[in-house]
Chains A and B, each alone.
Chain A
């Protein structure tokens, strides 16, 4: 309309030169004659005609080099866009290939949108990878790798997904337990498996080589790498085939549903696991050992049932439901047997040696005939006397059973701490060999939880004890099975690898393992995440800032529900502010300062040192956005709101 009013006759024709990326870097720009009232769509049309290349150009758009922006509104005229003859324009595809580092450490090559805001790009990527709740993830620039590894970089394994068509369906239909677009070829099926099954434990040396943040400031620097989610990849200088990381950025995981979230859950676990292995998040030794035990368990399960896993959560539910139904239905036939079995629980009978450390007496191990039945151990002078009264009966319910094992020294002892009104009684049982030990140990553990030998967990418990013993085997040749040869050092952070020898570490992980050995794969993943989330430092992203009126740098911790001011020197929490007391926050983009007002006239302001204030602004706005989801029923993502909360001036 505008041009009609003040250019009544004819507009001047001028030449506009456009580089067409697809013609190659050396090809000269194509020049087209245009008038200022020609709209962008018209320019593209002329360009395509003149290039004389017949192909699908629908994904292509104009990029304005000087202004670093896309010309995506095809109805706008050149005049409205402000383009004149000196503009350097490039005609290129909006989707380009990108090397994407996943939380599990593997790299995918896939086609991502370079023209939309990064938020959209992530949405697209997550849709392709079948990750729900994509708003919780974002892209960041990877930590630069050291130069000496350059040659290794070239051989980096890439999983190609560039051929996978982008789906438009909101929730991809499943085929063969995976989204249909992965089921096209064997290769993509393999990629999906890699996405949805946790990776085997890395070698301890590999962990040791990776970058580990040594201080809060190091951790803060990582957060300066996040891309701006309201601008496009091109605008942020990301080039085709560049490497970016895809990570969970906002630590409030909404509506986690193992049935639909196989990939999401797995990648979340991987991110958590690496955060712990690389000491990105601090934990205590006990917690580290428990994390190690769960990792071991997950590794084992992933290896042993890789195929069922992809579709397992749903199937598990169904199976167990069916089983439950069966039990109810044919109670007449099967359940009496079950009940009989439960009533007449199996026993263990063996000659074992017992030792009870008592004050001032140094008696050695003495051999008796042992009988294990119904969560208690009885012992007799000999097998022949086992029909009579036992010398002693020990009830194991509530006891602690710890291994005291040295495979090399052929020592297989069970240390029992048995509670009694007067305190705990210490008892050692010595077994002859692995096999005997594993049975008795398994029995003791079940009994400590009040379960009998009839429990179907007994056999699996025996197996897991045996496999742990195998890990301690000095001679690796005796066991070729991959799943058994996990090095316990690869389950803990390098700090503990250095502190403990495998021999010391393994029994302690085994001890922690007994509490998780019964978990299913999904439950184990969830448990790992739960313990991770229960760590005091969980979900805190650090930024070094300078508070208004303060002369030293301090650390601002951004958590899902609060902001934390942390003293950089001591590491103490100085103050916390909760978002739900926040009245408003403003960013002064000129002086790059964030000002926040809380209830009760509490004001604070800071400028950012390590990260751009847009990143901080986006973090705060993002977390507030995340909290608005909590009671939202619908699955639709309120993108507009996200941009309002995180966009800054771009949003206006």
Chain B
């Protein structure tokens, strides 16, 4: 309790300092006109954003405005709620380090940028300052009070200097207004700053669009002049590649589902076992797929699929396409020179990946007289026009092209690709969990913060279907208050009972991932909760648990437990990867075939033990709603949910009035907003 109090007053003190310095700074500067806004945005950047701003249509501007408003209002509201919560001395808040404490004011941003190194206690300064809430009046500084006045002064001075410097730095941050073309052809306009990754922007778009957040959603760029297209990787900075566009560029940023984005993790066999016959590839078991991913992405080194094949290469400057035998290695693409062997030392390096990106070529048959339309291109991201430095390759079919492009991405991005995938999966799982839960959360005793409740009811108007008591009611015979108990009862097959077949619940869970792709707002949501155990299992389908569920789903297939005679009893637990187990037992025996072992009861506990730990995290996952950062889970989750809804309905008029009232100079509302926005973005 003391901790919280101390942190709180510390926080207040700091806010106070910030407002003071902000007050000085915000008053004099730019004349409040729209041109100043452009200036502000285009700081240190090429001219294109000015144009893009000019290009903005009326409704785009409105949308941007709405965004800004919503952000401000949110912040303010949350702040108020948060403070209220603090004052009521809510118990569930864990002991948080002061730095992360600041995060709790931005649950929504903490979601979009889970790991922003620059986030310090100061990060929330800008928006707060622009929307002066009553809380600033009591600047109590208990910590500072202990110090001598000189020290305080020195400290304040230093803080001011620091703040000023940060602001300077901030001013150097590139920001872009980006028009994103949606899958339905409409467009949304976003502000993106140079520190934001594609992942951040995607999360942002998820909030705005209510799409299903599945892992295939991606941002891509098109270059109509060169007829190229490339999906951005989630870890890339978005501003970087966009800065390479020319002033007159017709390039576009698309927000669309790209199944090829993470196909390699869903069906690794297509890439790593491409030489095998089609049937083996098609009949691949899930467990084997996982093993492949693990083998190639989880070791000390990323393994690149060993691709080799004849591709057509567009000769420099000529219009002809020439066949060559190409090989992919981790270090680059190589070809076999005429009359030489395929041995490594004879290979000639065609390209290394440090400075090039890989793009899909569109309709090259027409444009470049390519043998087929399945072409890909390697070029420096900054090259935007025809050039001899662009390398064009053409494949026989779409499958081969996909193989190569994905292979090159693996070689170029390595582990990041897999990390991105895991993040996306988490995101998708959380979102599905959210969609399925909606108001169900409130019944969970671990989220009692009044903040959440206030939020949930306040924002719920955005969500048409509102089945608050629904899941609980469906569960029926179970007592409503302690749902956490339920999953533990139902989800994993009870360990001690070997008779109980472990099949049903995992099956249910296994079905739930498809639910990930179910559109986000389900009018029929309540009906998707039919049988009681299933519904509970349906709630939390984070991907990690998938594997265990799978493995327990069909034990006879590939979990033939070692015959008890071998004395594996306790040791079996330490032999987790099932496939080896399947042939472990008697190999050295001459002519001793493997007895197809019946599902050994002794093995059940093992499976259970594996899957047992999963449920609690799931539960907490939902509770937290947000990934790593540690702010109080309840409010974070509330933020997640509330923001889209607010945006959808548009900011209610009364709220709109707050910032103008607060605007210190009483000047142009737009520019104030823009500044606030810029600062806020910058702080992320």
Q: How far is it, in angstroms, between the C-alpha of A286 and the C-alpha of B346 when the chains are bound?
A: 11
Q: Which of the listed residues A495, A580, A640 has the most CB atoms from chain B within 10 Å of its own CB?
A: A580
- Give every chain A residue within 8 A of B35 (Cβ-Cβ): none
Chain B residues 579 to 636 lying within 8 A of chain A, measured CB to CB, are 579-584, 586-594
B227 at the interface (CB under 8 A from A): no
Instruction: Among A335, A421, A621, point to the contact of B384 (Cβ < 8 A).
Output: A421
Chain B residues 482 to 509 lying within 8 A of chain A, measured CB to CB, are none
Least distance between A94 CB and chain B CB atoms (Å) = 26
B115 at the interface (CB under 8 A from A): no
- Give every chain A residue within 8 A of B161 (Cβ-Cβ): 336
Least distance between B557 CB and chain A CB atoms (Å) = 10
Binary contact track B206-236/A, C-beta < 8 Å → 1, others 0: 0000000000000000000000000000000
Asked if A253 and B300 sit within 8 Å, CB to CB, the answer is yes
Asked if A284 and B331 sit within 8 Å, CB to CB, the answer is yes
Q: How far is it, in angstroms, between the C-alpha of A252 and the C-alpha of B298 when the chains are bound?
A: 12
Chain A residues 457 to 502 lying within 8 A of chain B, measured CB to CB, are 495
Q: Which interface class (under 10, 10 to 19, 20 to 34, 35 or more) fits A?
A: 35 or more
Q: Which of the listed residues B302, B347, B352, B386 has the most CB atoms from chain A within 10 Å of its own CB?
A: B347
Asked if B381 and A529 sit within 8 Å, CB to CB, the answer is no
Asked if B576 and A632 sit within 8 Å, CB to CB, the answer is yes
Asked if B162 and A332 sit within 8 Å, CB to CB, the answer is yes
A176 at the interface (CB under 8 A from B): no
Asked if B387 and A422 sit within 8 Å, CB to CB, the answer is yes
Instruction: Among A424, A580, A588, point to the contact of B389 (Cβ < 8 A).
Output: A424
Asked if B383 and A423 sit within 8 Å, CB to CB, the answer is yes
Least distance between B109 CB and chain A CB atoms (Å) = 21
A207 at the interface (CB under 8 A from B): no
Asked if B576 and A651 sit within 8 Å, CB to CB, the answer is no
Asked if A424 and B349 sit within 8 Å, CB to CB, the answer is no
What DSSP secondary structure best describes chain B's contact surface? loop
- Give every chain A residue within 8 A of B166 (Cβ-Cβ): 339
In the complex, the chain B residue whose C-beta lies closest to that of A324 is B117
Chain B residues 60 to 82 lying within 8 A of chain A, measured CB to CB, are none
Known interface pairs A284-B329, A398-B355; A422-B383 also in contact (CB < 8 Å): yes
A236 at the interface (CB under 8 A from B): no
Known interface pairs A287-B331, A531-B331, A634-B574; A515-B354 also in contact (CB < 8 Å): yes
Least distance between B296 CB and chain A CB atoms (Å) = 9
Could you tell me how many residues of chain B have their Cβ less than 8 Å away from some Cβ of chain A?
Answer: 72
Q: How far is it, in angstroms, between the C-alpha of A75 and the C-alpha of B383 when the chains are bound?
A: 81
Q: How far is it, in angstroms, between the C-alpha of A640 and the C-alpha of B575 when the chains are bound?
A: 13
B330 at the interface (CB under 8 A from A): yes
- Give every chain A residue within 8 A of B575 (Cβ-Cβ): 628, 632, 641
B301 at the interface (CB under 8 A from A): yes
Interface stretch (choices B141-149, B337-345, B669-677): B337-345
Least distance between B157 CB and chain A CB atoms (Å) = 9
Asked if A533 and B301 sit within 8 Å, CB to CB, the answer is yes
Asked if A651 and B383 sit within 8 Å, CB to CB, the answer is no
B306 at the interface (CB under 8 A from A): yes
Known interface pairs A284-B331, A424-B383, A534-B303; A495-B580 also in contact (CB < 8 Å): no
Binary contact track A634-652/B, C-beta < 8 Å → 1, others 0: 1000101100111111011
Asked if A536 and B291 sit within 8 Å, CB to CB, the answer is no
A526 at the interface (CB under 8 A from B): yes
Q: How far is it, in angstroms, between the C-alpha of A342 and the C-alpha of B150 when the chains are bound?
A: 29
In the complex, the chain A residue whose C-beta lies closest to that of B158 is A332
Binary contact track B371-394/A, C-beta < 8 Å → 1, others 0: 000000000111111111110000
In the complex, the chain B residue whose C-beta lies closest to that of A580 is B579
Known interface pairs A419-B383, A495-B345; A624-B334 also in contact (CB < 8 Å): no
A172 at the interface (CB under 8 A from B): no
B246 at the interface (CB under 8 A from A): yes
B288 at the interface (CB under 8 A from A): yes
A436 at the interface (CB under 8 A from B): no
Least distance between B98 CB and chain A CB atoms (Å) = 11
In the complex, the chain B residue whose C-beta lies closest to that of A423 is B387
Q: How far is it, in angstroms, between the C-alpha of A423 and the C-alpha of B382 when the chains are bound?
A: 8
Asked if B162 and A648 sit within 8 Å, CB to CB, the answer is no
Least distance between A292 CB and chain B CB atoms (Å) = 13
Q: What are 21 A-to-B residue pairs whose CB atoms are below 8 Å?
A: A282-B344, A285-B347, A290-B331, A343-B168, A398-B382, A419-B382, A421-B383, A422-B385, A423-B387, A529-B300, A534-B329, A571-B343, A579-B579, A584-B594, A589-B590, A624-B580, A624-B587, A638-B574, A640-B571, A644-B566, A649-B590
